[in-house]
Amino acid sequence: MIIDRARYAVAASALGGCLLVAHGTAAGDVAAGARLAAARCVSCHSSTDASHSTHPLLEGQPKAAFIAQWRAFRDRKRTAPVMVSLAAELSEQNVDDLAEHYAALLPPLSPESSGSDAGRALADRLRCADCHGPALQGTDAGAARLAGQKARYTAWSLQLMRGGTRSHGTAAKPDPLLADLSNAEIESLAAHMASLR
């Protein structure tokens, strides 16, 4: 019985992989993604322009996390008007290409933060690594990369999650995990995450 289940799981996994390829969600063209990013994304998601500190870095985001966010905008589960409009315009292949492009990059070293012991301790207490991976670099299951993310963007996002304006994975809104965090603690946590590579 256990062997049959194992064989079934392997077969289902292989079939799932074939279905992903067949529907265009497994293979993307990095070069096409780079061209599309230059044309459509960099004007807001620049990693070097300080005026865009409240827009997330996309470099290094796992492919699954990138696609999950695109779907959230497409399905209007996230509501930034520019992104909702762009998500509606992009094809599945466009998104695969962009996701492959950004997943192949590393976020630049953050000049804005050296982190702190308090931020690190808070990340440990909240068990951020349980969902976002041991180095907070995101996961293939769709959890976003937090390592190297802009501190101002992370702090703003955490405040929205704490207040229930934005969802945090499958957590209730507002997120009880973040409910008791002060603004100072959120800033410390965000600075720690920005300091990681």
| Domain edges within the chain | 27-107, 109-197
Cβ atoms 161, 190 nearer than 8 A: no
Name the 3-class secondary structure at 159. Answer: helix
Cβ atoms 190, 115 nearer than 8 A: no
Residue 171 has pLDDT above 90, yes or no: no
Residue 2 has pLDDT above 50, yes or no: no
For residue 163 the two structure tokens come to 């207040």
pLDDT tens sequence across 11-24: 333 333 333 333 44
Domains 27-107 and 109-197 share a fold: yes
CATH of domain 109-197: 1.10.760.10
Residue 103 has pLDDT above 60, yes or no: yes
Q: Could you count the other beta carbons within 10 Å of the beta carbon of residue 54?
A: 12
The kind and range of the H/E element at 84 are helix 81-89
How far is CA 127 from its chain centroid?
A: 17
* pLDDT at residue 91, rounded to an integer: 96
Residues in the chain: 197
Residue 35 has pLDDT above 60, yes or no: yes
Domain with residues 27-107, CATH architecture: Orthogonal Bundle (1.10)
Supply the pTM of this predicted model: 0.80
